[in-house]
Amino acid sequence: MHRSRLYGLFIDTPAPDADAAGAFWSGVFGPPAVPEPHEPEFRMLAGAVPGLALGVQSIGPSDAPRYHIDIETDDVDAETARLTTLGAVEINRWLDCHTLRAPGGHLLCVIPVHSDRTLFDAEARTWP
Amino acid sequence: MHRSRLYGLFIDTPAPDADAAGAFWSGVFGPPAVPEPHEPEFRMLAGAVPGLALGVQSIGPSDAPRYHIDIETDDVDAETARLTTLGAVEINRWLDCHTLRAPGGHLLCVIPVHSDRTLFDAEARTWP
């Protein structure tokens, strides 16, 4: 058995527009867009949405703007296997982050638990 | 003064893939993907994420797959004006739904309050 839940929504923005996007989304939701100390390509809007991480990710200048979501789990390999069995295709892996493309074409990442453990335990679903 | 909050995340999928996407995302999150009675292009996954509407929207077969978000508000005109002042551009309007493109290129819609009013009152932010 393992567990998973929706961890976050990320606003992937070509690098030249990332500052403007950070300022815009900060205005939309309220909190400032603060660069992550060890991952400055992420500007996180802490507390923007209860129970959901929200951030702007700076991506390659020639990549198209997109949203992506992260699924957090207490077993990355089992969750990745579950989602690929459901039809997703793994297209990238970086450390513990597995990037999948869903049927229909959308991007999602599977990552280890990042939330406060109390939140994860309260909201994650359990899979056989 | 008016109020707004993130209402939902929508998985916009070209029509030929919408059934497969509905089945996949139902598997990812648990609840079935149920067509909305009066808007069958939306398959909603009720209860998939606490406090957040989640659904698959069938879009034109030649459109690219994308996510979009909906912002719900008790004053659609005021919220649309606020977001355009922040830099968004209105690209479509259908009934009470205003579709905006954010700086950086992402799509978001402004809609009237759709959530349970208790949830909206508890979580919406107030704007001057």
Q: Would you state the pLDDT for residue A124? A: 98
d(CA B6, CA A52): 11
Q: Summarize the confidence of residues B32-57 as an average pLDDT.
A: 96
Among candidates B24, B64, B125 on the partner chain, residue whose Cβ is nearest the Cβ of A30 = B125
Among candidates A20, A49, A86 on the partner chain, residue whose Cβ is nearest the Cβ of B104 = A20
B2-127 has CATH 3.90.76.10 classification: no
Q: Summarize the confidence of residues B27-48 as an average pLDDT.
A: 96
Among left, alpha and beta (phi > 0; psi -120 to 50; other), residue A29 is alpha
Cα A96 from chain centroid (whole Å): 13
Per-residue pLDDT of chain A (128 residues; tens, 9 = 90+): 999 999 999 999 999 999 999 999 999 999 999 999 999 999 999 999 999 999 999 999 999 999 999 999 999 999 999 999 999 999 999 889 999 999 999 999 999 999 999 999 999 999 99
> Chain A to chain B, count of Cβ pairs less than 8 Å apart?
122
Beta strands A2-14 and A53-59 are parallel
Residue B15 binned pLDDT confidence (cut-offs 50, 70, 90): very high
Residue B71: its chain A contacts at CB < 8 A? 28
Q: Considering only CB atoms, which residues of chain B are within 8 Å of chain A? A: 5-6, 9, 11, 13-14, 17-18, 20-21, 23-25, 27-30, 48-52, 56, 64-69, 71, 83, 86-88, 102-106, 108, 123, 125
3-state per-residue secondary structure call for chain B: CEEEEEEEEEEEEEHHHHHHHHHHHHHHHCCCCEECCCCCCEEECCCCECCEEEEEEEECCCCCCEEEEEEEECCHHHHHHHHHHCCCEEEEEECCEEEEECCCCCEEEEEECCCCHHHHHHHCEEEC
Q: Where are the domains of chain B?
A: 2-127
3-state secondary structure of A76: helix
3-state secondary structure of A50: coil
Q: Would you state the pLDDT for residue B91? A: 97
Q: Would you state the pLDDT for residue B63? A: 93
Q: Summarize the confidence of residues B22-48 as an average pLDDT.
A: 96
